Structure 1
Amino acid sequence: MSNKKVIAVAGATGAQGGGAARAILADPESGFTVRALTRNPDSPAARELAALGAEVVRADFYDEPSVHKAFEGAYGAFLVTNFWAHGSAAKEIEEINVLVRAAKAADLRHVVWSTLEDTRELLPLDDDRMPVLQDEYNVPHFDVKGAANELFTQAGVPTTFLNTTFFFQGFLLQGMSPQRAEDGVLTLSLALEDGKLLAGVDVADIGRTALAVFKRGEEFIGAAVHLAGDHLTGAQYAEKLAAALGEPVRFQSVPYDVYRALGFPGAEELGNMFQYYGDFDQEFTGARDLNRLREINPALKSFDDWLAENASKFELS
Structure 2
Amino acid sequence: MAQGTPQRKRVVIIGATGLQGGSVARILAQSPDRYIIRGLTRNTSSPKAQELYKLGIQVQQADLDDSKSLQEAFHDAHVIFAMTDFWQHMSAEREEAQGKSIMDIAAELPHLEQLIWADLPDANKISEGFYPHVYHWQSKAAVSKYIREEKPELWKKTTAVLFPNYFENCLTQPATYLPIKQADGTYLRSFVLPETADLPNVAISDTGKLVQYILDHPDQCLEKTIAFYSETISEGEKVRSMAKAYNIDIRYHEMSSDEFQGILKKHMGDVTALDFTEQLLIFRDFGMIYGRPEFVQANQLPGLKLTTWKEFMEANDLHYYMTSA
TM over 0.5: yes
Q: Would you say 1:26 and 2:30 are equivalent positions?
A: yes
Instruction: State the AA in 2 paired with 1:228.
Output: Y
Distance 2:59 2:125 in 1: 38
Residues of 1 paired with 2:226 and 2:284: CA distance?
Answer: 21
SS state at 1:261 partner? helix
The aligned counterpart of 2:184 is: 183
Q: Which moved more, 1:199-208 or 1:108-117?
A: 199-208
Cα drift, residue 289 of structure 1: 7.3
Aligned residue pairs total 306
* 1:50-82 deviations in Å (ceiling 9; x for gaps): 111111111111111110110111111111110
Aligned residues of 2:189 and 2:251 also touching (Cα < 8 A): yes
Aligned residue identity for 2:313: L
Q: Report if aligned partners of 1:36, 1:56 keep a CA contact under 8 Å in 2.
A: yes
Aligned AA for 2:123? T
Q: 1:85 aligns with which of 71, 88, 91?
A: 88
Partner AA of 2:308 in structure 1? S
The residue correspondences of 1:201-212 to structure 2 (distance < 5 A) are: 201-212=202-213
Aligned CA-pair RMSD: 2.2
Cα distance in 2 for partners of 1:282, 1:163 equals 13
Where in structure 2 are the equivalents of 1:187-266 lying within 5 Å?
187-262=188-263, 263-264=265-266, 265=268, 266=272
**Contact 2:17 2:41 (8 Å CA) reproduced:** yes
Aligned pairs (5 A) from 1:32-111: 32-107=35-110, 108-111=112-115
Moved more, 297-306 or 244-253: 244-253
Give 2:119's aligned residue. Answer: 115
Q: Which of structure 1's runs of 4+ aligned residues deviate more than 4 A?
A: 286-290
CA distance in 1, matches of 2:128, 2:182: 38
Deviations 1:200-224 (A, max 9, x none): 1111122221111011123311011
CA drift at 1:294:
4.7
Partner Cα separation in structure 1 for residue 166 and residue 303 of structure 2: 17
> For 1:296 and 1:151, how far apart are their aligned partners in 2?
30
Q: Is 2:29–2:57's contact at 8 Å kept on the other side of the alignment?
A: yes
Query: Shift in Å at residue 3 of structure 1?
Result: 3.4
- 8 Å Cα contact 2:13/2:40 also seen in 1: yes
1:119-171 CA distance string (max 9 Å, x none): 1112133x3xx5xxxxxx43111111112112222212111011111111122
Task: Give 1:315 deviation, angstroms.
Answer: 4.1
Whole-angstrom CA distance in 2 between matches of 1:85 and 1:40: 14
Match of 1:9 in 2: 13
Q: Distance in 1 between matches of 2:275 and 2:227?
A: 21
Take 1:85 and 1:160, find their aligned partners in 2: how far apart are those partners? 24
* 1:3-44, Cα deviation, whole Å (9 max, x unpaired): 310110000011111111111113456x22311011111111
TM-score of the aligned structures, taking structure 1 as reference length: 0.89
- Deviates further, 84-93 or 147-156: 147-156
| SS of residue paired to 2:43 | coil
- The 2-side partners of 1:196 and 1:289 are apart by 22
3-state SS in 2 of match to 1:225: strand
TM-score by length of 2: 0.87
Partners in 1 of 2:220 and 2:195 — Cα distance? Answer: 39
Structure 1 residue 94, shift from structure 2 partner: 1.2
Aligned residues of 1:244 and 1:311 also touching (Cα < 8 A): no
CA distance in structure 2 between the aligned counterparts of 1:56 and 1:306, rounded to whole angstroms: 30
The change in CA–CA distance for 1:289 and 1:68 in structure 2 (over 3 A counts) is closer
The aligned counterpart of 1:134 is none
Conserved? CA contact 1:209–1:296, under 8 Å: no
AA aligned opposite 1:120: N
Per mean C-alpha deviation after superposition, the further-off stretch among 275-284 and 220-229 is 275-284
* Contact 1:260–1:272 (Cα < 8 Å) also in 2: no
DSSP-derived class of the 2:229 partner? coil
Cα deviations by residue, 1:219-262 (Å, 9 ceiling, x for unpaired): 31101111111211211011122234342333222122321233
Whichever residue aligns with residue 181 of structure 2, its letter is R
**Cα distance in 1, alignment partners of residues 52 and 221 from structure 2:** 27
Unaligned runs of 5+ in 1: 131-136
